[in-house]
Amino acid sequence: MANLKEVKERINSVVSTQQITKAMKMVAAAKLRRAQDKITQMRPYSQKLTNILNNVSAASEGQADIAYAEKREVRNVLIIPVTSDKGLCGAFNANVLKATNLTILQDYAAAQVTVLPLGKKAYEFFKKRELNVIADYYQVFSDVSFDNVKFAAEYAMEAFTEGKYDKVVLVYNHFKNVATQEVITEQFLPMSSEELESDVKKSETDYILEPSRTYIIEELVPTSLKIQFYKAILESNASEHGARMTAMDKATENAGELLKDLRLMYNRSRQAAITNEILEIVAGANALGGK
């Protein structure tokens, strides 16, 4: 039977852990509400801007040459995995890192791969691998704002137009609900012409463009790409808090179950100790009586 003091110490330790996980769950829930509001508000704006851009671009009938849509032989690839800065969020980070590794090994084994990690966990993981790692933007989650995030997007866009990379891929968690996050591997550049054509078939809107269609496209395309990039960061941010809230809730429940077992063990050990003391007293009394 376990020592009473040891069991009591374990009970106190589990109680302290349970209080921490419960507090972390409440903090994650508060952050999730704000993050969820941001992504909910961003999605309609992002979709509408993309639809307008696709319609205008398709209607130009080749009048505008979009540098971000140029397709080249894929020799150099930039992969952007989006993770969190902290752990304790279940398989949130592991799923992104696993998907990134699979993408590199299966899709771009013959290409030169460069990784631009966003989030401390991705940076710490890939800096130990034999890959080219760009470490300038991994602290993006210290300030999740468009003004901060756009620098990473601008780097990827400029490097693509300069021919440094032939393809740019985003790997991140798409937020569905508190308990569900889906890992998405999404082509960021070049812009997909297939999506453009399918969107135009769905919605054909006649726009009056000033000063010119070409000028509007040249202004809209970079803005739209930065918005899409920012949306991916917001999706990942909301997914992180949802995953952490779920993980801490489960940890709190598990601590409660463990406490039940430990308290039962403590009571049994205490009862056994009392029984032994009674037996010793009785045995001593009998021994004295026998004299």
According to the 3-state scheme, what is the secondary structure of the chain? CCCHHHHHHHHHHHHHHHHHHHHHHHHHHHHHHHHHHHHHHHHHHHHHHHHHHHHHHHHCCCCCCCHHHCCCCCCEEEEEEECCCCCCCCCHHHHHHHHHHHHHHHHCCCCEEEECCECHHHHHHHCCCCCEECCCCCCHHHCCCHHHHHHHHHHHHHHHHCCCCCEEEEEEEEEEECCEEEEEEEEEECCCHHHHHHHHHHCCCCCCCCCCHHHHHHHHHHHHHHHHHHHHHHHHHHHHHHHHHHHHHHHHHHHHHHHHHHHHHHHHHHHHHHHHHHHHHHHHHHHHHHC
Identify whether 45 is a catalytic site residue: no
Active-site residue, selected from the candidate residues 14, 89, 115, 247: 89
Euclidean distance between CA atoms 227 and 219, whole angstroms = 13
Task: Enumerate the active-site residues.
Answer: 89
